Chains A and B, each alone.
Chain A
C-alpha cells in the first residue's frame, strides 16, 4: 500500500504538468483581460489580476457592439439548439418506434450525408440565401443548422432502447400520440436530450465558416466572426479588447462545463460510444 502510493507520485506529477499546460493559456487569457495593453506581455506574467477589466470591456464594446454581438450569438445558438433538438427528437422517434414504408431508405440517405464535408454546402447555401434575400439575417444562420443527421441518429439509437410497453400503457390509458411523446418519451429521455442539447449548443456557439460567409454587416456578427474580424484587422493592436472578447466567448462555455461536466462529456463523446 505504502509502496504504491509512493510510486504514484511521479505519474501524478506528470499529469499535473499536462493539465497545467491545458489550462495555462486560459489562465493567461483571463488574467490578461484585466491588464493594460502595455502590461499584457510582461514576463513573468503576474498572478494578480490588474485593474483594467472595465476599460478593456468598454473598448471592446465600442469596437464590436458587445451586447448586440453577444445577443446574436445567444439567439442563434439558442434557437438552433431547440430547433435541431425538436427535429431530431421527432425524427428519431419515428425511426425508432414506427414501421413505415421507406424507413430504411430514408435513414440511410440521412446518414450518408455524415461523410460530406460542410464545405460542400457553403456555395449552394450562399446562393440559396442570396436568392431568398436572406443573406445577413438570423434565418440564414439558423435554418441550415436545424437538420443535424448525427443528432437524429443519436435519438434513434437512444429511443430504440425505450420499451414499447411504456408507450402502449399510455396509449391504452387514452393518451394521444403527441401526449405520449411529451409526457412519456421526453421525461425518460431527459439525460440524452440534455447531453445532445449541450453538444448542439456548443457547436452552434462556436460555428465560424458559415456565419463568416452569410453575414455582411457588423451588427449581425456572432462572437466568433466579430473576434476574427477584430483580430484580422491589422490596424488593431488593441490587445486588451481582443482578449476580453476571447474571454467572453469562452467563459460561458467553461462555466457551463464545470457545472454540467457529466452531460458535457457524454454529449461530446456521444459519437464515440454510440458510433
Chain B
C-alpha cells in the first residue's frame, strides 16, 4: 500500500522538464501501474524466496530449540546445543571435516595457481587445449565423480594403485583405512575442482599487463620475485574468493563421502553434513539435525569472516 505514495521514477525525462514528464507518463498508463511495476516484477522472486528460503531458515532455527521425534517436537531450550557439545560423534565429524579442509584447500589452490601460471606462460603452446582439458572435471557431477573413483581407488585392481605400483610405490588401502579414506576424499575433491580454480586464476593472470613483468625483468627481478611481487598481489581478490569458496564448500561436504565411503570406515570420513543427514532423515530427529545445521552455519560464517579479514588486511 505504501507503494502508491512512492515517487515515480521516469528515467526518460531529465529532471526539470515537468510537461514532457507528464506527457510520457500519460502515455504509459496510470500512475499506480508505474509504481506497482517493480513490485510486480519482484513478486515471483519474493514469493519463492519467502516460502522456500526465508521461512525454512527461520523454521530451522526454531526447530533447533525443540526435542522429540519428527514433527511432534516440543520446546526444550538449548538442550540440542548442549547435547551437541557432548556428542563424541559430532566432534569426530567436525575433526574429519577439519582435517580434509586443512589438507585439501591449500594443496588444491597451490596446484591450481601453478597450473594457471604455467598455462599463462608465454613459452607454452596449445594453451586452449590445456585450459579445456583441466576444466573438464568441473562439469562432472560430484556423484558421478565419486562413483567413478570408487572403482579407480579399489585396493586390489584399481587403476590408481596399479599406477602407483608401476612407478615402484606401494599400493594403498584407499577406502579401507581411516587416514587414507580421508585422503581419498581429498584426492577426488581436488581432481574435481583444481582445474576450475586454475581457470579462475588464469582469467586474473590474463588481465595483468605484460609490461609490468618486462619492467621487473629490466630491473633484474627473478622469476620467483616477479611471482611474489606482481602475480600474487594482482590475484589477491581472486585468491580470497577461491579460498573462501573452497572452505565453505568443504565444510558442507556431503556427496563425495556419501558415495565414496559412506562415511566409513569406522566414521573416519563422516562429515558434519552427513551427520546432519543421518540425524534428520535416518532417525528423524529434526531438532537435533537443525542444531547441527546452525552449528555449521556458525562455522561457515566465522571461518569465512576470519579469512576475509586476514586476507583483506594484507591489502593495506
A217 on the B face (CB < 8 A)? no
Q: How far is the CA of A87 from the CA of B44 in the complex (A)?
A: 6
A67 on the B face (CB < 8 A)? no
B230 on the A face (CB < 8 A)? no
Q: How far is the CA of A93 from the CA of B139 in the complex (A)?
A: 29
Contact with A along B120-143 (1 / 0, CB 8 A): 011111100110111111111111
A265 on the B face (CB < 8 A)? yes
With A94-B38, A228-B143 as given contacts, are A146 and B48 in contact (CB-CB < 8 Å)?
yes
Across the two chains, which residue of chain A brings its CB closest to B304? Answer: A115
Stretch from A54-62, A124-132, A186-194 forming part of the interface with B: A124-132
In whole Å, how far is B233's beta carbon from the nearest beta carbon of chain A? 17
Q: Which residues of A contact B290 (CB under 8 A)?
A: 120, 123-124
Q: Which residues of A contact B180 (CB under 8 A)?
A: none
CB proximity to B under 8 Å, residues A104-119: 106, 109-110, 113, 115-119
Q: How far is the CA of A109 from the CA of B35 in the complex (A)?
A: 22
CB proximity to B under 8 Å, residues A75-119: 86-88, 90-91, 93-95, 97-101, 103, 106, 109-110, 113, 115-119
Across the two chains, which residue of chain B brings its CB closest to A45? Answer: B159
Q: Is the CB of A41 within 8 A of B154?
A: yes
Q: Which residues of A contact B49 (CB under 8 A)?
A: 110, 113, 147, 149
With A22-B134, A121-B56 as given contacts, are A126 and B3 in contact (CB-CB < 8 Å)?
no
Q: Is the CB of A116 within 8 A of B297?
A: yes
Q: How far is the CA of A93 from the CA of B245 in the complex (A)?
A: 27
Stretch from B87-95, B96-104, B214-222, B253-261 forming part of the interface with A: B253-261
With A110-B49, A268-B196 as given contacts, are A15 and B130 in contact (CB-CB < 8 Å)?
yes
With beta carbons under 8 angstroms apart, the residue of A87, A119, A168, A242 that contacts B12 is A168
In whole Å, how far is B144's beta carbon from the nearest beta carbon of chain A? 5
Q: Which residues of B contact A147 (CB under 8 A)?
A: 45, 48-49, 52-53
With beta carbons under 8 angstroms apart, the residue of B45, B125, B241 that contacts A87 is B45
CB proximity to A under 8 Å, residues B141-185: 141-144, 146-152, 154, 157-159, 162
CB proximity to B under 8 Å, residues A1-34: 4-5, 7-8, 11-12, 14-16, 18-23, 25-26, 28-29, 32
Q: Is the CB of A91 within 8 A of B45?
A: yes
Q: Is the CB of B162 within 8 A of A43?
A: yes
A206 on the B face (CB < 8 A)? yes
Across the two chains, which residue of chain A brings its CB closest to B255? Answer: A208
In whole Å, how far is B170's beta carbon from the nearest beta carbon of chain A? 16
In whole Å, how far is A116's beta carbon from the nearest beta carbon of chain B? 6
Q: Is the CB of B11 within 8 A of A120?
A: no
With beta carbons under 8 angstroms apart, the residue of B3, B137, B138, B248 that contacts A101 is B3
Q: Is the CB of A122 within 8 A of B277?
A: yes
Chain B, interface size category, equals 35 or more
A195 on the B face (CB < 8 A)? no
Q: Is the CB of A23 within 8 A of B252?
A: no
Q: Which residues of A contact B17 (CB under 8 A)?
A: none
Q: Which residues of A contact B136 (CB under 8 A)?
A: 22-23, 26, 254, 257
Q: Which residues of B contact A23 (CB under 8 A)?
A: 133, 136
With A110-B49, A120-B56, A228-B147 as given contacts, are A213 and B300 in contact (CB-CB < 8 Å)?
no
With beta carbons under 8 angstroms apart, the residue of A25, A115, A118 that contacts B149 is A25
B265 on the A face (CB < 8 A)? no
B46 on the A face (CB < 8 A)? yes
With beta carbons under 8 angstroms apart, the residue of A101, A109, A128 that contacts B6 is A101
CB proximity to B under 8 Å, residues A123-149: 123-128, 130, 143-144, 146-147, 149
Q: How far is the CA of A121 from the CA of B191 in the complex (A)?
A: 29
In whole Å, how far is A138's beta carbon from the nearest beta carbon of chain B? 15
CB proximity to A under 8 Å, residues B38-77: 38-39, 41-42, 44-46, 48-49, 51-57, 59-60, 63, 71
Q: Which residues of A contact B195 (CB under 8 A)?
A: 22
Q: Is the CB of B297 within 8 A of A232?
A: no
Q: How far is the CA of A44 from the CA of B245 in the complex (A)?
A: 38
Q: How far is the CA of A115 from the CA of B305 in the complex (A)?
A: 11
Q: How far is the CA of A125 from the CA of B59 in the complex (A)?
A: 9
B210 on the A face (CB < 8 A)? no
**Of listed A97, A167, A209, residue having the most chain B CB within 10 A:** A209
Across the two chains, which residue of chain B brings its CB closest to A275? Answer: B241
With A110-B49, A143-B52, A227-B143 as given contacts, are A8 and B124 in contact (CB-CB < 8 Å)?
yes
B273 on the A face (CB < 8 A)? yes
A249 on the B face (CB < 8 A)? yes
A243 on the B face (CB < 8 A)? yes
Q: Is the CB of B152 within 8 A of A28?
A: yes
Q: Is the CB of A90 within 8 A of B44?
A: yes
Across the two chains, which residue of chain A brings its CB closest to B36? Answer: A100
CB proximity to B under 8 Å, residues A146-178: 146-147, 149, 152, 164, 167-168, 171-172, 174, 177
Q: Is the CB of B56 within 8 A of A242?
A: no
Q: How far is the CA of A231 from the CA of B147 in the complex (A)?
A: 7
Q: Other than the known A28-B148, A122-B293, what 18 A-B pairs have Cβ atoms closer than 8 Å? A: A8-B124, A19-B133, A40-B151, A41-B154, A91-B44, A93-B41, A99-B7, A115-B297, A119-B277, A127-B59, A143-B51, A147-B52, A206-B144, A224-B144, A228-B259, A271-B245, A272-B241, A273-B203
Ordered by A's residue number, 16 sampled pairs between the chains whose C-beta atoms are within 8 Å are: A94-B41, A106-B46, A117-B296, A122-B293, A124-B56, A146-B48, A168-B11, A177-B37, A213-B281, A224-B144, A243-B148, A249-B141, A250-B144, A264-B139, A268-B196, A271-B245
